[in-house]
């Protein structure tokens, strides 16, 4: 079991990449290692690495390599994002995709080719670092294709699949030969939003591990309460939901982002939220690891963040460990060698179409009938799974997943879901 953090540099946040101060990285990563973490997730900025479609910043690649090497000096493995993308309500998109050059990063053949070249260049720059464990294509890039985005980049589901496979193709064999993973990550619109062009089967089958980002500001905490069972089990719920769509019943699932957002969770409850959320996630069979968002608070001198984004760290902006940091460190020490868990043989059935995609994704969202059915079983003390209706109709597939009993609720859409972390942005988009 892996426990780590999404690394937010204490000096300059992710703008650090414009002017790296390596002494601060040494200090940050020493703190993270002392906390008992075994890995970090690193976020170089796309416009810094590839400011022109046909020119990659080799000095920028070397900076990423240097950070990975510092992590190794502190006994930390490193997972690196590459098409970066979107972070804490800010977009980091190179100028060759916007304004006079506006096009879709997913559908434009030249743009896809350029991104694939960056993926290969970054992989090759890190290839001989023994603690480099894999690449994520980017952080929640699906939000660029979502209808809620103010500068949406249109694409079809087929173009999304081509984008995912094209970016992984140049390094797939090299990565697998070294035991490294290649994955992609989406926000929960992929599981919850009807009409969203990124699909659950893509999230659960392309790449080596399914990545989950669990944020209860999506309507879960607003509807049920920040410390409700529905909120503290939201990460576990998404992990089980992802497993339902995987062709391989043993495919690992990674809780790659989870945090305690202060806009929906009282500051006095953040430690308890961390404890209960992590412990519930650890009940999920096939869990690859838990990576907390984030390592260090964002300096309050920086402007225009949703207010809670400043305070998500395990360390404050002065580098002092916070109570939630101590608690996550304790959880890591106590649970790193836990035995693998099993479900109780009961599963909620998700009706799917001929392509294996859910007929009504919003039934899986907070307040939806599938969400409610699964949570009801979990609250009663069971460890429920999910299966698709295709799996439910196949006795051999059910046996492979250890399912002996199924529950099939009537489909009903949820009534409380948003992928947007900033209420002011959500209100603006609704007008």
The DSSP code for 99 is: G
User: Thinking of the domain 2-335, which architecture would CATH place it in?
Assistant: Alpha-Beta Barrel (3.20)
Q: How many CB atoms lie within 10 A of CB 164?
A: 21
> Residue 422 has what pLDDT?
62
What the block records as the tokens of 57 is 């910043």
pLDDT band at 430 (very low <50, low <70, confident <90, very high): very low
Question: Does the structure show a pLDDT above 90 at 423?
Answer: no
Enter the pTM of the model. 0.96
Tell me the average pLDDT across 117-137: 98
CATH 3.20.20.80 placement within the chain: 2-335
| Each residue's pLDDT tens digit, 210-229 | 999 999 999 999 999 999 99
Question: Does the structure show a pLDDT above 90 at 191?
Answer: yes
> Residue 100 has what pLDDT?
94
Cα–Cα distance for residue pair 180/62, rounded to 1 Å = 20
Tell me the average pLDDT across 380-391: 97
What the block records as the tokens of 217 is 């500001």
| pLDDT, the chain, mean | 95
Does 425 or 410 have the greater pLDDT score? Answer: 410
CA 179 to chain centre: 21
Over pLDDT 90: what percentage of the chain? 93
Which residues are registered as beta bridge partners of 315?
296, 321
Cα–Cα distance for residue pair 23/11, rounded to 1 Å = 10
Cα–Cα distance for residue pair 134/179, rounded to 1 Å = 9
> Residue 54 has what pLDDT?
98
Question: Residue 110 belongs to what H/E stretch?
Answer: helix 109-126
Q: Which has the closest alpha carbon to 325: 20, 12, 69, 28?
A: 28
> Residue 414 has what pLDDT?
94
Over pLDDT 70: what percentage of the chain? 97
Tell me the average pLDDT across 340-361: 93
Question: Does the structure show a pLDDT above 60 at 428?
Answer: no
Residue-by-residue DSSP string for 269-333: GHHHHHHHHHHHHTTSTTEEEEEES-SBPPPTTS-SS-GGGGG--SB-TTSPBPHHHHHHHHHHH
């Amino acid at each position: 079991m892996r426990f780590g953090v999404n690394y937010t540099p204490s000096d300059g946040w992710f703008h650090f990449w414009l002017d790296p101060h390596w002494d601060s990285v040494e200090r940050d990563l020493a703190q993270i290692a002392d906390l008992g973490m075994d890995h970090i997730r690193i976020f170089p900025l796309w416009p810094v690495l590839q400011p022109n479609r046909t020119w990659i910043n080799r000095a920028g690649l070397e900076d990423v390599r240097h950070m990975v090497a510092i992590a190794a000096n502190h006994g930390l493995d490193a997972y690196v994002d590459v098409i970066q993308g979107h972070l804490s309500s800010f977009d980091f998109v190179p100028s060759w995709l916007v304004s006079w050059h506006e096009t879709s990063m997913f559908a434009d053949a030249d743009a896809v080719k350029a991104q694939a070249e960056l993926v290969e260049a970054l992989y090759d720059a890190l290839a001989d670092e023994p603690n480099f464990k894999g690449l994520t294509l980017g952080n929640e890039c699906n939000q660029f294709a979502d209808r809620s985005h103010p500068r949406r980049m249109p694409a079809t589901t087929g173009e999304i699949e081509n984008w995912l496979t094209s970016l992984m193709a140049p390094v797939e064999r090299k990565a697998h030969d070294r035991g490294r993973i290649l994955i992609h990550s989406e926000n929960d619109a992929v599981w919850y939003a009807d009409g969203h062009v990124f699909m659950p089967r893509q999230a659960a089958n392309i790449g080596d591990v399914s990545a989950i980002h669990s944020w209860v500001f999506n309507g879960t905490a607003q509807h049920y309460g920040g410390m409700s069972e529905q909120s503290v089990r939201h990460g576990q719920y998404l992990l089980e939901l992802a497993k339902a769509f995987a062709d391989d019943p043993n495919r690992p699932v990674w809780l790659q982002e989870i945090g305690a957002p202060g806009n929906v969770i009282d500051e006095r409850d953040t430690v308890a939220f961390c404890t209960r959320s992590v412990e519930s996630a650890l009940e999920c069979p096939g869990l690859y690891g838990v990576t907390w968002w984030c390592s260090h608070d964002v300096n309050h001198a920086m402007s225009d963040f949703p207010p809670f984004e400043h305070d998500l760290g395990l360390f404050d902006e002065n580098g002092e460990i916070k109570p939630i940091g101590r608690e996550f460190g304790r959880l890591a020490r106590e649970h790193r060698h836990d035995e693998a868990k099993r479900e109780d043989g009961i599963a909620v059935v998700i009706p799917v179409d001929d392509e294996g995609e859910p007929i009504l994704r919003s039934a899986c969202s907070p307040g939806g009938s599938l969400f409610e059915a699964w949570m009801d079983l979990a609250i009663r003390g069971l460890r429920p799974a999910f299966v698709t209706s295709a799996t439910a109709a196949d006795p051999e597939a059910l046996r492979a997943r250890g399912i002996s009993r199924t529950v099939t609720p009537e489909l009903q859409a949820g009534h409380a879901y948003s992928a947007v972390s900033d209420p002011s942005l959500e209100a603006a988009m609704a007008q």
